């Protein structure tokens, strides 16, 4: 319970600090107003001890500066020890650190020597500032805390997110202020705080559950690609049921070789979790996903936990999130999910960019300005073949370019939604509705097609009573372009994200295919050369 409580404190403290820049650490001026008489501890470190420690441990410039700045702020008071013993939050931090090592598989923070020293110091009735073990443990704990916050909260700084086509500004953290907040709080009033990122914590718990599944090695897979449906009998169904029960899709174990209604529901449940059509019938695609090794799924979750660390700590209460691999848009109001809708995103060759912006314009009955590439490859050759090409496609010349007039056949449909960005990406309606029925919906030239554009318009304009449902319908079908500007609190933050694993609002662990190959690149950076690739988009 203490571990959970302090995790909440750490999280909220971090949330308060994440607006601080991660640029080169400036070393704080030493606060000499703090003395033995007015401090909360009699223990002070000799400044030469810190210099000796940083030299002996060959700390880099950044970490060296963080330690010096932290202790300058407190005039070299001890942070982790008091004269009468070890501070109460030391073992709690050790638990957090060990928890991180466990779920991440990162052993860089593992330090049994430090733990033994802390155990020894906890047996003492009095700790002196001259105790070399205490001084070393004090400085090592501070170093570990800074390393821990970088790894567990900010993500791996060796990864250049823009090289991975991720242009959402990376979350920022000031670890010195973070640690100061923790020490001042002393673990009190934790009930008033919420975790900094619920999605990260939910996924972390699933990682721990999956580790438990492999404690005796990789579980058995189902050695078939057969199509089974309700009413079938086969001994392979026993293995299928065991696998589905292991993964949590079949509630109760069942050793009968019969495909019954309960198994149908379990198959549908699994299909929903991996983004397949919920037919309740097995087949090659079903078994391919079902038999993905547990170790591979763990890596997939860890990759997405790393991405979550890059996201804003506390998103606005109202916002839109498009998850590209899920082909779904999520609209949030007052911090709660308001609705979802399926979308079509960019194809692999015309991938939708991962970025954030602010939606501030709704355009009813829009023109479509034909891109130069399409003008060159399709429109101009079409005009040469048929002088009536423009009229047939409801197009017209507009200066030196071509645009398609508003109407039901317009490529942008009846409405579009703009959030200014340098990638020319926006939301829009489409006259081609059939693609929304596909389970894999990466077909566009990069923009995002909405399955329910009117619903989106109604939601964005919900605070303006003049925009009734009837008026919105009329504007969409007016045949005359109309811009509606959203201002102030009506402007909507938009995040275009890329998550192939997450825990949904029902507590179900979700997986999706790596449609653009971003997971593959992340896997190589986090785990080295890939020996067991996670699910790829080509495995359809």
pTM equals: 0.77
Q: How far apart are the C-alpha atoms of 452 and 539, rounded to whole Å?
A: 29
Based on its alpha-carbon atoms, the radius of gyration of the chain, rounded to whole angstroms, reads 28
Read off the DSSP letter of residue 233.
B
72, 180 contact by CB (below 8 A): no
Q: With contact defined as beta carbons under 8 Å apart, do 184 and 209 qualify?
A: no
pLDDT at residue number 4? 33
Q: From the candidates 245, 428, 506, 518, which is the catalytic residue?
A: 428
**What are the mean pLDDT values of the chain's consecutive 10-residue runs (540 residues total)?**
35 35 63 72 90 91 90 90 88 84 85 94 92 95 90 71 75 66 56 56 93 92 96 98 98 97 99 98 98 96 90 83 98 95 95 95 97 91 95 94 96 97 95 94 94 98 97 98 96 97 97 96 78 49
What backbone torsions phi and psi does residue 195 show, to the nearest 5 degrees? Answer: -60, 145
What CATH topology corresponds to 219-292?
Muramoyl-pentapeptide Carboxypeptidase; domain 1 (1.10.101)
The predicted structure's pLDDT at residue 17: 36
**What sections of 105-167 are H helices per DSSP?**
112-122, 132-149
What pLDDT, on the 0 to 100 scale, is given for residue 104?
81
| Cβ neighbours of 445 (radius 10 Å) | 15
300 and 510 Cβ atoms separated by less than 8 Å: no
269, 330, 393, 447: the active-site residue: 447
Give me the DSSP letters along 346-361. Answer: E-STTPPPBEEEEE-E
Whole-angstrom distance, CA of residue 60 vs CA of residue 291: 44
Give the C-alpha distances (Å, rounded to integers) separating 174 from 10, 26, 101, 154, 468. 12, 11, 22, 10, 47
| Boundaries of every domain in the chain | 2-196, 219-292, 315-367+406-499
The pLDDT value recorded for residue 78 is 93
* Two domains, one topology: 219-292 and 315-367+406-499: no
**At the topology level of CATH, where does 315-367+406-499 sit?**
L,D-transpeptidase catalytic domain-like (2.40.440)
Residue 216 has a pLDDT of 87
Q: What is the pairing mode between strands 501-503 and 368-369?
A: unpaired
Is 506 among the residues known to form the active site?
Answer: no
Q: Is 428 one of the catalytic residues?
A: yes
Give the pLDDT of residue 322. Answer: 98
At residue 537, the pLDDT reads 47
Question: What's the distance, Cα to Cα, between the start and end of the chain in Å?
Answer: 44
């Amino acid at each position: 319970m203490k571990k959970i409580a302090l995790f909440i404190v750490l999280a909220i403290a971090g949330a308060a600090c994440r607006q601080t820049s991660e640029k080169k650490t400036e070393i704080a001026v030493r606060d000499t107003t703090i003395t033995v008489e007015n401090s909360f501890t009699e223990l002070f470190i000799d400044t030469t001890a810190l210099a000796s420690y940083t030299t002996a441990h060959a700390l880099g410039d950044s970490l060296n500066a963080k330690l010096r700045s932290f202790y300058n702020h407190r005039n070299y008071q001890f942070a982790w020890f008091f004269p009468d013993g070890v501070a109460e939050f030391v073992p709690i931090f050790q638990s957090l650190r060990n928890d991180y090592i466990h779920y991440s598989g990162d052993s860089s923070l593992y330090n049994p020597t430090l733990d033994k020293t802390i155990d020894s110091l906890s047996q003492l009735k009095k700790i002196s500032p001259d105790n070399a073990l205490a001084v070393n443990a004090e400085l090592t704990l501070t170093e570990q805390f800074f390393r821990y916050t970088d790894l567990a909260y900010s993500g791996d700084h060796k990864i250049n997110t823009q090289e991975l086509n991720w242009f959402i500004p990376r979350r920022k953290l000031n670890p010195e202020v973070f640690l100061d907040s923790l020490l001042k709080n002393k673990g009190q009033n934790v009930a008033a705080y919420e975790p900094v990122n619920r999605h990260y914590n939910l996924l972390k718990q699933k990682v721990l559950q999956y580790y438990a599944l492999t404690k005796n090695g990789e579980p058995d897979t189902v050695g078939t690609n057969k199509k089974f449906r309700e009413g079938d009998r086969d001994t392979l169904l026993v293995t299928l049921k065991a696998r589905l029960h292991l993964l949590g899709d079949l509630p109760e174990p069942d050793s009968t070789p019969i495909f019954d209604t309960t198994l149908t529901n379990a198959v549908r449940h699994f299909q929903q979790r991996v983004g397949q059509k919920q037919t309740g019938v097995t087949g090659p695609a079903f078994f391919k996903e079902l038999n993905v090794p547990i170790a591979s799924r763990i890596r997939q979750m860890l990759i997405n936990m790393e991405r979550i660390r890059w996201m804003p700590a506390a998103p606005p209460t109202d916002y839109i999130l498009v998850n590209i691999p899920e082909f779904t848009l999520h609209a949030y109001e007052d911090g709660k999910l308001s609705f979802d809708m399926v979308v079509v995103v960019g194809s692999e060759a015309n991938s939708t960019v991962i970025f954030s912006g602010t939606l501030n314009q709704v355009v009813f009955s829009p023109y479509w300005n034909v891109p130069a590439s399409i003008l060159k490859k399709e429109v101009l050759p079409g005009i040469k073949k048929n002088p009536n090409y423009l009229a047939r496609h409801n197009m017209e010349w507009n200066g030196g370019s071509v645009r398609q007039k508003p109407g039901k056949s317009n490529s942008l449909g009846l409405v579009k939604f703009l959030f200014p960005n340098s990638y020319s990406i926006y939301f829009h309606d489409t006259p081609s509705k059939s693609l929304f029925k596909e389970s894999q919906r990466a077909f566009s030239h990069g923009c995002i097609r909405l399955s329910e554009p009117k619903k989106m318009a109604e939601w964005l304009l919900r605070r303006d009573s003049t925009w009734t449902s009837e008026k919105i319908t009329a504007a969409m079908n007016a045949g005359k372009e109309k811009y509606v500007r959203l201002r102030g609190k009506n402007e909507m933050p938009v995040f275009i994200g890329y998550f192939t694993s997450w825990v949904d609002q029902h507590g179900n662990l979700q997986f999706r295919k790596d449609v653009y190959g971003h997971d593959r690149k992340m896997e190589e950076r986090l785990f080295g050369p890939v020996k067991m690739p996670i699910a790829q988009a080509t495995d359809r």
